[in-house]
């Protein structure tokens, strides 16, 4: 559903961020879950070493030996410094038994229609009338956005 919106030039992911819980549904390198960008953007030289680009967060956080997962271990100043910085960035992440979820990133107090309207209008995603369709976050939020885009097309 999110990819269908992206094909129409609407990137919902700028407004939400993954909340890591069990780490099964979040892609370690591709999804934004640690910091303000995906890890493949923050640590491209380390990402290039990984043999499984689609690995989940749980697969890497529970990894005892990175040498098994990498094509080769980092070497040279850039790779080694990025690897050290990556380990530092994920050091305090703790997994739980709960399912991964989303965090609304436009307002620290949580999702609201007002914050969605403000964010979408600010980024030129929709008209004010279209934004009123956004009443919940998560997959229902994406479905509401998709139906708005399809109806508007």
pLDDT digits (tens, 9 = 90+) for 98-147: 999 887 766 666 666 666 666 666 555 554 444 444 444 444 555 554 44
User: Between these two residues, 79 and 14, which has the higher pLDDT value?
Assistant: 79
pLDDT of 89 strictly over 80: yes
The whole model's pTM is what? 0.67
Please state, as a whole number, how many other Cβ atoms lie within 10 Å of the Cβ of residue 81. Answer: 14
Domain boundaries, the chain: 2-18+100-152, 21-90
Compute the distance between CA of residue 66 and CA of residue 9 in angstroms, rounded to an integer. Answer: 37
What mean pLDDT comes out for the span 41-54? 96
pLDDT digits (tens, 9 = 90+) for 52-70: 999 999 999 998 888 889 9
Mean predicted lDDT score pLDDT of the chain: 78
Compute the distance between CA of residue 115 and CA of residue 15 in angstroms, rounded to an integer. Answer: 10
């Amino acid at each position: 559903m999110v990819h269908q919106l992206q094909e129409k030039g609407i990137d919902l992911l700028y407004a939400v961020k993954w909340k890591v819980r069990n780490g099964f549904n979040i892609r370690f390198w591709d999804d934004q879950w640690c910091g303000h960008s995906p890890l493949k953007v923050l640590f491209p030289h380390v990402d290039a070493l990984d043999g499984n680009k689609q690995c989940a967060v749980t697969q890497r956080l529970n990894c005892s030996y990175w040498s098994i997962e990498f094509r080769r271990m980092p070497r040279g100043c850039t790779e080694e410094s990025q690897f050290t910085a990556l380990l530092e960035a994920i050091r305090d992440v703790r997994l739980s038994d709960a399912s991964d979820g989303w965090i609304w990133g436009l307002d620290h107090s949580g999702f609201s229609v007002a914050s969605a309207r403000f964010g979408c209008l600010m980024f030129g995603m929709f008209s004010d009338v279209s934004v009123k369709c956004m009443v919940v976050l998560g997959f229902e939020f994406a479905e509401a956005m998709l139906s708005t885009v399809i109806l508007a097309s």
